Chain A
Amino acid sequence: MNTPEDLFKNKFSGFEKSPSDKVWKKIERQLTIQKFLKFNPKTFNIWYLAASCLVAGIGLAHFVNQENETQEYNAKTFVSSSYDYTASKRKVVVLKPSTENKQSTKTSQNKDITDNADKTLISEGRTEKISQKYFLDSTQNAETSKTTIAQTQHTESKDFTSYFEMSAHSGCAPFSVEFKNLSKNTEYCYWNFGNGDVSYDQDSKVVYLEPGQYYVTLKTVNGVFSKIYTDTVQVFAQPQAQVSYVVSSKTLIAEAKNAKASAFVWNFGDGIKAVGEKTTHAYSDYGVYHLALTISNNICADTIETDINILPQQYNIKFPNALTVSASGPQGSGISRNQNYVTSFYPRGDVNMLSKYTLKILNRNRKEVFSTDDPRHGWDGYYRGERLPKGVYVYVCQYEFAGGEHGNLTGNITLIWE
């Protein structure tokens, strides 16, 4: 005989019973799920692949959806220089009335207004989801705030719209855009041009100085109702063309000083064009040429024009107007080395370029007192060994340079005694 404790202990020590088969199946399933959740590249299998595909698919669908929206938007922003407004989708946002009458709180009135506004939107052919959503939001707001609009005082006109057209949607800075208000049945309108400028005028003209994207909104008000219409202006950066150049003989070496461009086109004014930030051009003839540089950043371009003088080198010679005659006898025909005063009369300047040269010195009686055809042959103020009297003498010079340039030079020379 046993106590109850012993009875049970004896009976149940090592007590075994097989569970039903479904238990293992359940365990197996649970283990599989656990294993799957503990992702391990070693055990990558068809299920991971399927899950990855599913996630990728969802992501792709989301991306495509976004892309479509962006494309619609881009189409509107960049391509619409033609005014096909019916084809492009517009965001018409109907806002909550700006003033609220708190006297009556019947939601049915709100609903009437909603219907009314919906009809307006449909009749305009712009029943976009966004606008409906906005409108529902505003309606809900109106309901939750327990306010409503007194229909008796203000009834929204069925033709009340907010809409404008613009002369262009995109351009280069500074970009001037004209806005034309085509809204119907509005009491007043309020423009916000997105660049800090605002206006209450019907039509407006705005100059956008800086590149960027600007959201232009037109808010029109009719009684307690207001509507907003939005569009965008894209302003691109305008490059500034600058040129620095050097002319050497008939060759032009030029460089664009604005590196913020992707394309550089040179027109040298002689029918020849070239591309590149730096350029070298050899003109075939002397003359004045109209150099033009056009730079572009692929969207906007700028051109600078300047005249280039391609001329032969100018040579000249000149003579002193006084001569100090030495007291110590004739100094010869050599070139004077005295730095304080002229002791030998000869031309200064591009003497080396002279191909022909004659010089005559005449006294007051037109008597020739000196002549030479050598520019390096100076006059010392003596005539046949005699120091000539002080006074004014005349010189006559004929010359021709290597380039073909020639002429006469005449002038007075004052003789001073040392």
Chain B
Amino acid sequence: METRLRSLIEQCLTGSPKAQYTLYKTYSPLLYGLALRYSYNQTSAEDILQEAFVKIFSSLKDFKFEGSFEGWLKRVVINTAITGYHKELKHRHHADLADFQDILPDENAEFDTSEFTQEELLNVINSLPEGYKMVFNLYAIEGYKHREIADMLGIDINTSKSQFMRARGVIIKKLKDLEKLKKTAL
């Protein structure tokens, strides 16, 4: 591990506000980018980020300098997002799910990377229902196995798989719609 990072972490552990701010400044863009994918708007992403950083600083002593610090930070953000997701579950309605039930995934759909901006893709993810969003993020982008996702979210492994397939279908449909929209606009 990089000695500079190690000394920064050690300074953070002593409670130095300057070191804490440096750590925040260094990693907040990456973690905010991550949080954006797990939230439905910027405000909720900022809430996740805020909560995650408070957790990071209070549990920094638990980081044993084994493995990637970045990975550890990301995991904290994802866990925070999952905790938030579980809390939200109690309060949110899932009536919109019905809209996505009948979409059949196009297995062979392929897209050009240059065709879409990050913002457009982010909007696509954010527009997904919470459960789909979680599974898609964790499986497709973070690269977790379905077994791990099931454990993290406290759901059945098959639920994770089916939700991912549905999320994928929705995304393909949305991307195709977006493609059409762009072509007509041109």
Count residues of A near B (Cβ-Cβ below 8 Å): 30
Q: Complex Cα distance A13/B142, Å? A: 9
CB distance B140 to A18 under 8 Å? Answer: no
> B36 and A17: CB pair below 8 A?
yes
Complex: A58 Cα to B36 Cα, angstroms: 47
Q: Any chain B CB within 8 A of the CB of A41?
A: no
Q: When A24-B24, A31-B20 are in contact, do A11 and B29 touch as well, CB less than 8 Å?
A: no
B94 vs chain A, min Cβ distance (A): 23
Q: Does the CB pair A5–B33 fall under 8 Å?
A: no
Binds A, one of B84-92, B153-161, B167-175: B167-175
The answer on a CB contact under 8 Å between B49 and A23 is: yes
Closest to A18 in B: B29
Q: Which residues of B contact A19 (CB under 8 A)?
A: 28-29, 32, 45-46, 49
User: Chain A residue with minimal CB distance to B32?
Assistant: A19
Give the distance to chain A from B43, nearest Cβ to Cβ, in Å.
10
CB distance from A280 to the nearest CB of B (A): 75
CA distance A35 to B30 in the complex (A): 26
B147 to chain A, nearest CB (A): 18
Interface string of A1-30 (1 = CB under 8 A from B): 111110111111111111110111011101
Report the nearest A residue to B136, measured CB to CB.
Answer: A8
A8 to B168, CA, bound (A): 11
Chain B: which residue is nearest A42 at the CB level?
B15
Which of B30, B50, B53, B168 makes the CB contact (< 8 A) with A14? B30
Number of B residues near A (Cβ < 8 Å) is 39
Decide if B140 touches A4 in the complex (CB within 8 Å). Answer: yes
Q: Tell me the complex Cα distance, A5–B144, Å.
A: 13
Does any Cβ of A come within 8 Å of B100's Cβ?
no
Given A5-B140, A8-B141, CB of A17 within 8 Å of CB of B33: yes
Is A1 touching B24 in the complex (CB atoms < 8 A)? no
Instruction: Indicate if B58 sits at the interface (CB-CB under 8 A).
Output: yes
Q: How many A-B residue pairs have CB under 8 A?
A: 98
Q: Is B65 in contact with chain A by the CB < 8 A criterion?
A: no
Point out the residue from A3, A28, A30, A35 that lies within 8 Å of B110, measured CB to CB: A3
B118 and A26 contacting across the interface, CB-CB below 8 Å? no
Main secondary structure of the interface of B (DSSP, over half): helix
Q: Is A34 an interface residue (CB 8 A)?
A: yes
With both beta carbons as reference points, the residue of chain A lying nearest to B54 in the complex is identified as: A30
Do A23 and B17 touch (CB < 8 A)? Answer: no
Whether the Cβ atoms of B17 and A18 lie closer than 8 Å is no
| Complex Cα–Cα for A11 and B122 (A) | 10
Contact A2 B113, beta carbon cutoff 8 Å: yes
The residue on A at minimum CB distance from B33 is A15
- Given the contacts A1-B112, A3-B110, A18-B29, A23 and B46 also touching, CB distance less than 8 Å: yes
Identify the interface centre among B24, B46, B50, B175: most chain A CB within 10 Å of its CB: B50
- CB pair A20 B46 closer than 8 Å: yes
Which residue from chain A places its CB closest to the CB of B36 in the assembled complex? A17
Chain A CB within 8 A of B150 CB = no
Q: Evaluate contact between B118 and A16: CB separation under 8 angstroms.
A: no
Tell me, rounded to whole Å, the shortest Cβ–Cβ distance linking A79 to chain B: 58
Chain B residues, Cβ within 8 Å of A24:
21, 24, 28
* B28 and A11 form a contact (CB under 8 A): no
Chain A hits for B112, CB < 8 A: 1-2
Q: Tell me the bound Cα distance from A19 to B20 in angstroms.
A: 16
- CA distance in complex: A5, B15 (Å): 41
A30 to B111 CA separation, bound complex (whole angstroms): 44
Contact B54 A12 (CB under 8 A): no
Complex Cα gap A28–B164 (Å): 37
A7 touches B113 (CB 8 A): yes
Q: Which residue of B lies closest to A31 (CB)?
A: B57
Chain A residue contacts of B21, Cβ below 8 A? 24, 28
Looking at the complex, which one of B17, B109, B118 makes contact with A28 (CB distance below 8 Å)? B17
Minimum C-beta distance from B105 to chain A (A): 9
> Is residue B116 contacting chain A, with contact meaning CB distance below 8 A?
yes
CB proximity of B117 to chain A, nearest CB, Å: 8
CB of B166 within 8 A of chain A? no
CA distance A18 to B27 in the complex (A): 9
- Chain B: CB-nearest residue to A9: B141
Q: Please report the C-alpha to C-alpha distance between residue A27 and residue B37 in the assembled complex, in whole angstroms.
A: 21
Interchain CB contact (< 8 A) of B118 among A15, A22, A35: A15
Find residues 24-60 in chain B having any chain A CB closer than 8 Å to their own CB: 24, 28-30, 32-34, 36-37, 42, 45-46, 49-50, 53-54, 57-58
Q: What's the minimum C-beta distance from A35 to chain B, rounded to whole angstroms?
A: 7
Asked whether, in the complex, the Cβ of A17 is within 8 Å of the Cβ of B20, the reply is no
- Distance (Å) between the CB of A23 and the closest chain B CB? 5
Report chain A residues within 8 Å CB of B168.
Answer: 4-5
Q: List 7 additional A-B contacts (Cβ < 8 Å) besides A7-B121, A24-B24, A27-B50.
A: A2-B113, A4-B140, A9-B141, A17-B33, A20-B42, A23-B46, A35-B15
User: Which B residues fall within an 8 A CB radius of A?
Assistant: 15, 17, 20-21, 24, 28-30, 32-34, 36-37, 42, 45-46, 49-50, 53-54, 57-58, 109-113, 116, 118, 121, 125, 136, 140-141, 143, 168, 171-172, 175
**What are some 18 contacts across the A-B interface (CB < 8 A)?**
A2-B111, A2-B113, A3-B111, A4-B175, A5-B141, A8-B140, A8-B171, A11-B113, A15-B118, A16-B32, A17-B29, A20-B42, A22-B46, A27-B54, A27-B57, A28-B17, A28-B21, A34-B54
